[in-house]
Amino acid sequence: MAEAHQAVAFQFTVTPDGVDFRLSREALKHIYLSGINSWKKRLIRIKNGILRGVYPGSPTSWLVVIMATVGSSYCKVDISMGLVSYIQKCLPEGCGPYRTPQTRALLSMAIFSTGVWMMGIFFFRQTLKLLLSYHGWMFEMHGQTSHFTKVWAICVRLLSSRRPMLYSFQTSLPKLPVPSVPATIQRYLESVRPLMDDEEYYRMETLAKEFQDKTAPRLQKYLVLKSWWATNYVSDWWEEYVYLRSRAPLMVNSNYYVMEFVLIKNTNIQAARLGNIVHAMIMYRRKLDREEIKPVMALGIVPMCSYQMERMFNTTRIPGKESDLLQHLSDSRHVAVYHKGRFFKVWLYKGSQLLKPCDLEMQFQRILDDPSPPQPGEEKLAALTAGGRVEWAQARQAFFSSGKNKAALDAIERAAFFVALDEESHHYDPEDEASLSLYGKALLHGNCYNRWFDKSFTVIAFKNGQLGLNTEHAWADAPIIGHLWEFVLGTETFHLGYTDTGHCLGKPNPMLAAPQRLQWDIPEQCRAVIESSYQVAMALADDVELYCFQFLPFGKGLIKKCRTSPDAFVQIALQLAHFRDRGKFCLTYEASMTRMFREGRTETVRSCTSESTAFVQAMVEGSHMKADLQDLFRKASKKHQNMYRLAMTGAGIDRHLFCLYLVSKYLGVSSPFLAEVLSEPWRLSTSQIAQFQIRMFDPDKYPNHLGAGGGFGPVADDGYGVSYMIAGENTIFFHISSKFSSSETNAQRFGNHIRQALLDIADLFQVPKADS
């Protein structure tokens, strides 16, 4: 076979005359081009490292400083105040490059200029870091910006005016501050007050007071010490203990899903969609490697931390018996593909050239047309990544540590990402509400063995061309994958395009080697473990109730007429809906980001507040005047917005208590207060989905180019998981999960309560609504 012959650089046979080597010129050409490509990447990384290291300086500014110094010297003006002469005296005399006085003078001026230039860079960076440590702008009312904040904004713009690369601001971002223990304790007690009666609250207050006076000071000292030493005092522990040390299945419990555009369709051809999407993803990866992606900026001027993007591609979670490991490679030139129980390896490059979308479409179509059956044990192999982590770690060590199984597993784990070619079709039909929920369920867990849940993300292509993602959570949070997804969908739709028949543009190269089928030798014992993991995963998947819907009466545009933030509006509506659903309040988790700090990830906003519960109770009683209800709502909204801002600016509650708890464990110190706080269940876990992080197109001009967001499984067995995307001005998408095994929860019932709560709050402000 020609493909097999070109797959190796040389072959040899033993003859009576010795060993006969036969070289493959084509394969050697590929190896040569691959090496050239690798060296190009290294040089680009070196160049970017230099440019990033001197930001906001530049080689041009360095030359300007040198020219100014030399020019002043010729004008008989010593701007160095004698330093150039001192440097010249320190240079060695005699032979070599320092022989003439002119050379020695120029060299000393260059050394002085470089020092001045580097000091200027250091000064600018420290000034920018100091400016970025100011967060007062977040607490000012819209339209009431203070003069101080206006001057601050001008200074930040001036210091960051030169076009930055992706990681240019990393060293200028401030560190996440460690809150004071009394402030954290006070905010914690405020958050649990509406959830406890007087006796329970007094008991918790006593525990908190005892912790604050006796145990906390010692723990806080260690935490402050860590904050001085580490880049971020939370993120490494959060990744390790919340994600990597969890022994529960990733599927449903940790991984989340992302939907694509649901109101438009580019093509129904499965392979063509993947051809453009995979090509766009590698284009994004190339921009990522070259740091050509602009940093995300709040208000267009405050940079967000970009470190989470580093492990987007070429990353796999490796199972361990006690803790998993995130394996990240600097490069990968292939993707792993699953179709009808078989695994394939698809090369993304021919030599140093990225394959065109039409070539990738041809490769995926070859897989779809391949009639070969799965090998014994191959079909459900990926169920190992859906079951318990200990079982997967043991099986990996026992059956995949050598031979062809190791080679095949390496091909998957070392892939840029994973691709699943599904045999079923899914899409959102506005006339069939259940279609969105079925689409979400397929993305969340599939059939439990057609996703590789350990990969940083899996691209899922359904038979009708609809797409989605299943994303592992340890390496990054949802806005990061959302940034990629916005770029990919925008590039596919507005730059790559399709022919009139729905295929990728261009003519494919039929001489490309076919996708490589991965080979396995899976013994009976391993098949038993696979089946066991599959049963665990199936029980978990079957227990998940997912209800997704599009709320059409209104969106962000009309919520703003209530003079509140859209997020606060939805969060208060969720409190009202939950009380109507369960007849009580519960500890509520809303994810907020801390990316204004270096290596920041998330913080918790405790959305169930005394103000929101007062409003909900007044609404349920039904005897209050509308003006009173409006006042209660505004108080609840103001409280929520303030808590969200505190969380974003490093003054949250839960990450601080989480780190204090870990320090107590390291020191062997017992704390009843921390033990109780960390064991409290989040029966309502919520998250808003970011959108329009990249302006790939004008949403006003293309109002139907809307993604539906994504979702996740319930955090508590008797609780709800709710994600929502305020999609533009006129609609909101909701994704609600619960467990069938709980008699207290029902995702669809809760969704109906959310609908009604949104309408009832809008009625308070007489917001006109479209027909439902």
Any idea of the CA torsion for 182, 183, 189, 192, to the nearest 10 degrees? Answer: -150
Question: 473, 503, 640, 753: which one is catalytic?
Answer: 473
CA angle 359, 362, 364 (to 5 degrees): 110
Rounded CA-CA distance 724/292 in Å is 30
The answer to whether the CB of 359 falls within 8 A of the CB of 512 is yes
The answer to whether the CB of 760 falls within 8 A of the CB of 567 is no
Kindly report the backbone phi and psi dihedral angles of residue 456, in degrees, each rounded to the nearest multiple of 5, phi listed first: -55, -40
One-letter-per-residue 3-state SS of 269-322: CHHHHHHHHHHHHHHHHHHHHCCCCCCCEECCCEECCCHHHHHCCCEEEECCCC
Kindly report the backbone phi and psi dihedral angles of residue 352, in degrees, each rounded to the nearest multiple of 5, phi listed first: -105, 5
Residue 730's nearest CA partner among 695, 767, 689 is 767
Q: Residue 691 has which token pair?
A: 């959108």
Residues near 245 by beta carbon (within 8 Å), at least 6 away in sequence: 322, 323, 324
Q: Residue 294 has which token pair?
A: 């602009």
- Residue 261 has what DSSP assignment? B
Full DSSP string of 109-161: HHHHHHHHHHHHHHHHHHHHHHHHT--GGGGSPTT---HHHHHHHHHHHHHT-
Rounded CA-CA distance 549/430 in Å is 9
Is 473 noted as a catalytic residue in this protein? yes
Any idea of the CA torsion for 433, 435, 436, 441, to the nearest 10 degrees? Answer: 130
The answer to whether the CB of 561 falls within 8 A of the CB of 767 is yes
The answer to whether the CB of 423 falls within 8 A of the CB of 522 is no
CA angle 652, 251, 238 (to 5 degrees): 25
Residues near 473 by beta carbon (within 8 Å), at least 6 away in sequence: 243, 250, 254, 255, 256
Rounded CA-CA distance 151/157 in Å is 10
C-alpha to C-alpha distances, 681 to 245, 586, 676, nearest whole angstrom: 19, 9, 10
Using a 10 angstrom Cβ sphere, with 0-12 exposed, 13-18 middle and 19 or more buried, the burial of residue 161 is: exposed
Full DSSP string of 668-689: T---HHHHHHHH---SEEEEEP
The answer to whether the CB of 431 falls within 8 A of the CB of 469 is no
Beta bridge partners of residue 353, listed in sequence order: 350
Pairing outcome for strands 731-739 and 302-303: unpaired
For the chain, how many residues are written?
772
**Residues belonging to the active site:** 473
